[in-house]
Amino acid sequence: MKAQAGGYVRATDVSHALRMLAEADGAGRVLAGGQSLIAAMNMRLSTGDMLVDISRLAELSGVTDDGDCLRIGALTRHVDIGRDPLIRRFAPLLSEAVDHIAHAAIRNRGTIGGALAHADPAAEFPAAILCLDATLHIQGPDGTRSVAAGDFFVDVFTTDLQEGEILIAITLRKCAQGEHQVLEEVARRSGDYALAGLCLIRRSSGHRVALLSVGATPVLATGAMAALDTGTVDEAVAALKTEIDPPSDTQASASYRKHLAGVLLRRAVARIEGGQP
């Protein structure tokens, strides 16, 4: 099918984009990489949008070293996240996530901000930034605000972003020496959305575990985290299974997803420890 848009404007800077969103009076839509939005428009899931194209705003793109933190512009493309040396060194979970996201031609245009704002529960970046306990920086008509990743994802395709607001950047604490960050997932075909996926971080202060494709939002598995801190992998797998409530759909049943989550946790731990799961 063909996309039907109400109108289009190419933003010249963030304040111009915010002004145009306000002018669109509820019909405004931020267009970043377009890899989810244009697909939805083609399927006529979304029509009449007043598109505010932010994709040329260079100020929103790129990774910077802020001392203890990394700052990632919302428009940084998947392909650039994948090859960025700062990300590779200080947030390897994100570089690994890119390998699992869609296909090369889609990674060439899709942006991290678009993936987070889109909030597909099966997407890798939302779970990864939850695992990393990152902060999202948002600009709106009333100024700027920051939201913790744990508060950002509200429901399927729904975030804390309000009408007229733009996600500007993400900041996260740099990975420490000796810290491990891994992502494991099962998908039917390379590049397809995962049936289930799991991010694991092991740092001196403890573990972080976040899952994708097992609920309406990415899930922080606090029970499994506590069990990994103090107990065995078996205990962590048992805890994990009580704290997720995955959906059944045409791709996989709920019980299969639960099973996969346990398998992925074992794989992730084994990878960190260099053994067999």
Binding site for another protein (CB under 8 A): 1-12, 16, 20, 23-24, 31, 34-35, 38-39, 41-43, 50-51, 53, 55, 79, 102-106, 108-109, 189-191
Q: By CB under 6 A, tell whether 166 contacts ligand FAD.
A: yes
**Residue 117 touches which member of another protein, ligand FAD, none, C-beta under 5-8 Å by kind:** ligand FAD
CA 61 to CA 169: how far, in whole Å?
9
**Residue 115 touches which member of another protein, ligand FAD, none, C-beta under 5-8 Å by kind:** ligand FAD
Q: By CB under 6 A, tell whether 34 contacts ligand FAD.
A: yes
The footprint of ligand FAD on residues 92-131 (CB under 6 A) is 101-102, 106, 110-111, 113-115, 117-118, 123-125
Q: Site for ligand FAD (CB under 6 A): which residue of 17, 21, 70, 74?
A: 74
According to DSSP, the β-strands at 219-220 and 206-212 are antiparallel
Q: By CB under 6 A, tell whether 31 contacts ligand FAD.
A: yes
Q: By CB under 6 A, tell whether 169 contacts ligand FAD.
A: no
From residue 158, alpha-carbon distances to 154, 155, 161, 162, 277 in Å are: 5, 5, 8, 10, 35
Half-sphere exposure of 219 (CA within 13 A, CB side): 25
Return the bridge partners of 169, or none: 73, 137
CA 161 to CA 140: how far, in whole Å?
9
Return the bridge partners of 164, or none: none
